[in-house]
Amino acid sequence: QSVLTQPPSVSAAPGQKVTISCSGSTSNIGDNFVFWYQQVPGTAPKLLIFDNNRRPSGIPDRFSGSKSGTSATLGITGLQAGDEADYYCGSWDSSLSAGVFGGGTKLTVL
């Protein structure tokens, strides 16, 4: 059971938009930054979003992040076949003094 809650899977057609939710609590998402990672099977995770809504250089603006209270959302527009991957949210938990991740969401581009 992960501390952060994500839907197991989402899907959408190429060119469409998809959102992935991440639900936590005050001690993690509520009080700390949210990070999002993309992991193509067989490879290491890659940072997509940091500090709730900031993109590292090289990440296209099709990817966006937002946070409200104890929940966060990753948005992906203009879906491409190459976006098929597992997506994880992560945050620091001030009560646990530990890093926490969501269980991951598998994105399928139909």
**Which of the residues 74 through 93 are near other proteins (CB under 8 A)?**
86, 88, 90-92
CB of 14 vs other proteins, minimal distance in Å: 26
Residue 51 gets the label, from left (phi > 0), alpha (psi -120 to 50) or beta, of left
Q: By rule CB under 8 A, what count of residues binds other proteins? A: 26
Residue 68 burial (CB count, 10 A): 9
Site for other proteins in 10-49 (CB under 8 A): 32-33, 35, 37, 39, 44-47
Counting contacts by CB under 8 A, is residue 59 touching other proteins? no
- Neighbour count for residue 60 (Cβ, 10 Å): 11
**DSSP H helical ranges for the chain:** none
- If one asks whether residue 70 binds other proteins (CB under 8 A), the answer comes out as no
- 49 vs 42: CA distance, rounded Å: 21
* Residues in touch with other proteins (CB under 8 A): 2, 32-33, 35, 37, 39, 44-47, 50-51, 56, 86, 88, 90-92, 97-104
